[in-house]
Structure 1
Amino acid sequence: MNIANFGVEEWLNQKEDAAIYDLAGSSIASFTLEEIITIDGKTTPEAFFAKLLPKKMNYGWIEGSPEFKQEVSKLYQNMPVENILQTNGATGANLLALYAIIEPDDHVISMYPSYQQLYDIPKSLGADVSFWEMREDKHWELDLSELEALIQPNTKIICLNNANNPTGTILNHDALRKISQLAEQVGAYVLVDEVYQPLDPKFQIPSIVDIYDKGIATNSLSKTYSLPGVRVGWIASNHELADLFRKYRDYTMICAGVLDDALAVHTLKNKEAVLKRNQELVLTNLQILKNWVQQESRVSLVFPKAVSTSFIKLDIPLEIELFCTQLLEDTGVLLVPGNRFDVPKHARLGYCTPTKTLIAGLEQLSSYLKKFDD
């Protein structure tokens, strides 16, 4: 098995510790442990941990506690709790699904650019991967006729990231329904990494499992719920797939852990308060970002629909990774260079950092761009 280096994660692993103004992430500003425990306005850290102190630090609930599964099931229209499996983040869920389903010489279609797992894991397993490409000149929108042309009789799975990382593009109900219809013609699965949820009520994305029986939904607490430090995700599917995933899950993961499960349950039980906090932050920061882009002659952006990732285009006479490296060294501002998504001249700008960090980081970036005007 041979697999490409994971471009984005490799960059962040190497650079993140040097950042003063971290504008590279795609999570919404992370909660502190105290903040998430007290999010309901009633629970104190002392009370929360008092319930946990008598618990044995054994494996706990292997597939996730009954409370966890029940809370996750509420995120879907009709998802039985037995079809939900807890995973190590959405990365663990994506790996599980691809590992369990793909065999050598299968045909896989992946939206592109996207999260690298969704195409390089299939390649490493011997699949033939076709890219369903998004184009900036089409506002990063996907053309369904192009997907239809890519589908083959042996297409095993279509891999999507909705909303998309890095562009922030969303696939609405009508698009997902049409994708499912095309997949159904050849019996293909549709895997959707759903970690990015638009927080503007005008833009609602249904889950693929609410539309298509052979849909697979992966998700986690890392992005929309602002808890990447709680390494809990999940995979939801039909019953047949859930049983298949159970078998392969035994080889990839035993459990998430007693403490992580408890924090995950508490977070999901209080998701309305979490999403209210995050909606305010996202909408505030998105307006700041829009105002900044409008004032920068060297920056353009297809604005995301209140999704926590954006993909700016920079009109500069430097290769983008060199620019991002020098920017970090000279100012402490961290972006993800677009070549890590195979898209030159762009950079992922995570605008859902704390608002003060965003403002200060954009000021530094503006000053740095001015040197190209001389």
Structure 2
Amino acid sequence: MKYNRMPIEIESPEEYGYEKIKYNLSESSITDQSLASLGLQVPDLKLLYNEHQGGTALRKLIVQGSEGLSYKDVLVTTGAAGALFIIASSQLSVNDHLVVVRPNYATNLETPRALGCEISFIDLAFESGFQLDLSAVKAALKPNTKIVSITTPHNPTGTGMSLETLSALVALTKEKGILLLVDETYADISYEGRLPIAASLGDHVISVSSLSKSYGIPGIRLGWLINRSPSLQEIFLAAKEQISISGSVVDEWIAEQVLSRKEEILSATIREMKDRREIVAAWIEKDDLLEWVRPDGGIVCFPRIKNGFEPVGGLEAFYHRLLHRYGTYVGPGHWFELPDTFFRLGYGWPTIEELEGGLQAISQALRDTSA
């Protein structure tokens, strides 16, 4: 494998230094939680190797209430990133072809690149509301296509997918004998109702998610993949065992406590994120230099500087000014292989005051005429 560091990681706020940022609107999760904020105190756990697939109780919680899925269909992984690595490294080679939506979470692109497989991109367009074109997916398929990879709700735009579109994609990939990978990391924060776990729709479908984004606990590195095929699960488990054998007892204990209160936690989070989305909507409506596609879920959106306007000094100068003069950090378009007229804005991580301060700073930096 040929690894290259991803711009989104090189330029991440934790690498740049949180202490240097006043208004951090670059994060893709809700506010980071602590053991105290979750009301947890870790007991005297025995620090052994636990079940290689992940604890049975935890796996049951992950699929609780999902028709057609069993805890046996779940593999607990080191975050969603660990799940995506296991899937790509076990299923793709230089002889295989991947169809993947873009823009996307960088790991969905870079791990297949590191493996050297052939890739066709389905580029989502602002003008079509970042919606997936099924005919474009069908046209991109080849005899050696192994995986079609999508995200819903989408990162970085927050746009959703209808059940009709998802079902059509499930049927298409089933007919062609292709795996369908659905990154559902933001699915638990869906404003118009959550889609079913995609893996429940077919044994060739793989769902991936984690506790990092919707629950604000990326520090425990707890994710999972779900798939109903025993033969595929055997391969995925073999990969995990060669990477880490099992997961962390401490991480899994925390995850159990959180998921046992899932409805309570999510109902409060969704209410707050809806309010925050309205704050961003009001700002966009007021600022005549910006436009967006209103997100259906998650806690990120992907505004665009309107065509025909260029900030003083150009885009590079704008982002430098935004950070160094106004103390505000966002995720520029190149993190997602798009022009820097786009930027990902995370509205779930900062305080309300910081969110409002950062939005005002973006508008000021766009209009700042000083060098």
The amino acid that maps onto 2:6 is F
CA deviations 1:319-356 (Å, max 9, x no partner) are 54543233111121110110111111110000112322
Distance in 2 of aligned mates of 1:220 and 1:321? 33
Q: What's the CA shift for 1:362?
A: 1.4
CA deviations 1:130-152 (Å, max 9, x no partner) are 00110011111111111111111
Q: Report what 1:5 is aligned to.
A: 5
Q: Report what 2:287 is aligned to.
A: 296
CA deviations 1:124-174 (Å, max 9, x no partner) are 212110001100111111111111111112110001111111111212211
The amino acid that maps onto 2:34 is T
Matched, 1:266 2:257: yes
Distance in 2 of aligned mates of 1:201 and 1:162? 12
Moved more, 115-124 or 92-101: 115-124
Q: Report what 2:236 is aligned to.
A: 245
> Of 63, 66, 70, which residue of structure 2 is paired with 1:76?
66
- Indicate if the aligned counterparts of 1:61 and 1:258 stay in contact, CA closer than 8 A: no
Q: How does 1:191-206 map to 2 (within 5 A)?
A: 191-197=181-187, 199-206=189-196
Distance in 1 of aligned mates of 2:46 and 2:188? 38
CA deviations 1:254-294 (Å, max 9, x no partner) are 33312111110000000011101211221110000000111
The amino acid that maps onto 2:236 is F
Distance in 2 of aligned mates of 1:150 and 1:351? 34
Distance 1:348 1:64, change over 3 A: same
Q: What's the CA shift for 1:7?
A: 2.0
Distance in 2 of aligned mates of 1:360 and 1:262? 37
1:36 is paired with a residue whose SS is coil
Q: Report what 2:226 is aligned to.
A: 236
The amino acid that maps onto 1:334 is Y
- Indicate if the aligned counterparts of 2:153 and 2:190 stay in contact, CA closer than 8 A: no
Q: Report what 1:256 is aligned to.
A: 247
Q: Report what 1:371 is aligned to.
A: 368
- Indicate if the aligned counterparts of 2:318 and 2:366 stay in contact, CA closer than 8 A: no
Normalised to the residue count of structure 2, the TM-score between the two structures is 0.92
Q: Report what 1:40 is aligned to.
A: none
Distance 1:201 1:348, change over 3 A: closer
- Indicate if the aligned counterparts of 2:153 and 2:296 stay in contact, CA closer than 8 A: no
Distance in 1 of aligned mates of 2:216 and 2:167? 29
Matched, 1:154 2:144: yes
- Indicate if the aligned counterparts of 2:25 and 2:346 stay in contact, CA closer than 8 A: yes
CA deviations 1:220-261 (Å, max 9, x no partner) are 001112211221011111222111101111222233312111
Moved more, 193-202 or 273-282: 193-202
Q: Report what 1:330 is aligned to.
A: 325
Q: Report what 1:25 is aligned to.
A: 27
Distance in 2 of aligned mates of 1:337 and 1:75? 38
Matched, 1:350 2:350: no
Normalised to the residue count of structure 1, the TM-score between the two structures is 0.91
Distance in 2 of aligned mates of 1:88 and 1:173? 29
Distance 1:209 1:11, change over 3 A: same
Distance in 2 of aligned mates of 1:111 and 1:182? 16
Matched, 1:14 2:15: yes
Distance 1:30 1:14, change over 3 A: closer
The amino acid that maps onto 1:323 is F
1:267 is paired with a residue whose SS is helix
- Indicate if the aligned counterparts of 1:96 and 1:248 stay in contact, CA closer than 8 A: yes
The amino acid that maps onto 1:348 is R
Q: What's the CA shift for 1:208?
A: 1.6
Distance in 1 of aligned mates of 2:188 and 2:259? 17
Distance in 2 of aligned mates of 1:373 and 1:326? 9
Distance in 2 of aligned mates of 1:263 and 1:356? 30
Equivalenced residue count is 362
- Indicate if the aligned counterparts of 2:322 and 2:329 stay in contact, CA closer than 8 A: yes
- Indicate if the aligned counterparts of 1:195 and 1:220 stay in contact, CA closer than 8 A: yes
Q: What's the CA shift for 1:63?
A: 2.5
Distance in 2 of aligned mates of 1:251 and 1:320? 44
Distance in 1 of aligned mates of 2:188 and 2:239? 31
Distance in 1 of aligned mates of 2:74 and 2:177? 22
Q: Report what 1:360 is aligned to.
A: 357
2:246 is paired with a residue whose SS is coil
Distance in 2 of aligned mates of 1:320 and 1:15? 19
Q: What's the CA shift for 1:61?
A: 3.4
In structure 1, stretches of 5+ residues that fail to align are 38-44
Q: Report what 2:95 is aligned to.
A: 105
CA deviations 1:179-201 (Å, max 9, x no partner) are 11221222100011110126355
Q: What's the CA shift for 1:65?
A: 1.4
In structure 2, stretches of 5+ residues that fail to align are none
Distance in 1 of aligned mates of 2:96 and 2:104? 20
- Indicate if the aligned counterparts of 1:321 and 1:337 stay in contact, CA closer than 8 A: no
Distance in 1 of aligned mates of 2:280 and 2:154? 18
- Indicate if the aligned counterparts of 2:210 and 2:222 stay in contact, CA closer than 8 A: yes
Matched, 1:127 2:124: no
Distance in 2 of aligned mates of 1:258 and 1:70? 16
Q: Report what 1:219 is aligned to.
A: 209
